[in-house]
Structure 1
């Protein structure tokens, strides 16, 4: 499935680019993820996702396959295997950064190709897109702030990517939209 996200970040392009080139920081900023080893453009990591009382662990490897600072474009590819099951996932993320206005803000665009095999949930692309929006917003915001990229807001995610919480957030957004439509 193909997902797209876009967000304006309150940071200059050079700072955001530097943060995205730090593979450890990417792991610290993404909810439930951890990069455990980096060798040049290659990395080893894990993602923990919670599905109610169940925890799913994926171990994987990946690589920064493209870095073009002049074009503000980077590409990351990774594959993962569920530790205690048959699930597999592959992901290919393309990042495009564009400076805005006076150069103190940056538009970040992420295009994600995601494939799950044997994963315990089968969601439609539209549902996955909407459920991933708040996660990617938090990730991109973390990637734009100075420092190590693991502030108090991110510490809540140390327990893993909570899929039930994400689904609950998604259902809440559906209810808000329905109420707003009724008001019109």
Structure 2
């Protein structure tokens, strides 16, 4: 499934680029994720997601496969396996950054190829796109935050990626659009 997200960030391109090149920061900013080890462009980490009372833990590895600072382009690939089940996931994320206006703002575009295997649930790509929007919005805002970010991220409660919260955010957006 292919997902696309675009957002204007209140930070200069150089700062956003530096934050994306920090693999530990990526883990701190993504809800439910934690990078446990970094070796050059390679990393080891985990992601915890909840769907109501159901918790899923994924352990995985990944690497920054492309970096082009002049073009503001990078790619990150990762694979993970569900800790207590048969689920597997692969993700390939392409980042493109563009300066805006006077250079104090940046447009970030993420294209994500996501594959889930072994899950009992089958979500349509349209639903996944809309449900992922608030999660990616929080992630990108964190990546534009100046200074260090603690392990829980600036807006995260330190817990799992809450898929119910994402779905609630999605339903709220439907209600706002109908008004």
Both structures adopt the same fold (TM-score exceeding 0.5): yes
Name the one with the larger helix percent. 1
> 1:140-178: per-residue Cα shift (whole Å, max 9, x none)?
00000112234774331x110011111111112112222
Which residue of the partner structure matches residue 149 of structure 2?
149
Cα distance change, pair 155–133 in 1 and its aligned pair in 2 (3 A): closer
Which residue of the partner structure matches residue 43 of structure 1?
43
- Counterpart CA distance in 1 for 2:130 and 2:173 is 9
Please, which runs of 5 or more residues in structure 2 have no aligned partner? Answer: none
State how many pairs are aligned. Answer: 178
Q: What secondary structure sits across from 2:71 in the alignment?
A: coil
CA-atom RMSD in angstroms: 1.2
> 1:77-100: per-residue Cα shift (whole Å, max 9, x none)?
000000000000000000000011
CA contact (8 A) 2:142 2:153 kept: no
Q: What secondary structure sits across from 2:119 in the alignment?
A: coil
Find the structure with the greater CA-based Rg.
1
- Counterpart CA distance in 2 for 1:152 and 1:139 is 9
- Counterpart CA distance in 2 for 1:2 and 1:148 is 31
- Counterpart CA distance in 2 for 1:136 and 1:9 is 12
- Counterpart CA distance in 1 for 2:135 and 2:26 is 13
| TM-score normalized with structure 2 length | 0.96
Q: Which runs of 4+ in 1 moved over 6 A?
A: none
| TM-score normalized with structure 1 length | 0.93
Which residue of the partner structure matches residue 170 of structure 1?
170
Which residue of the partner structure matches residue 58 of structure 1?
58
CA contact (8 A) 2:28 2:153 kept: no
Shift of 1:136: 0.4
Q: What secondary structure sits across from 2:28 in the alignment?
A: helix
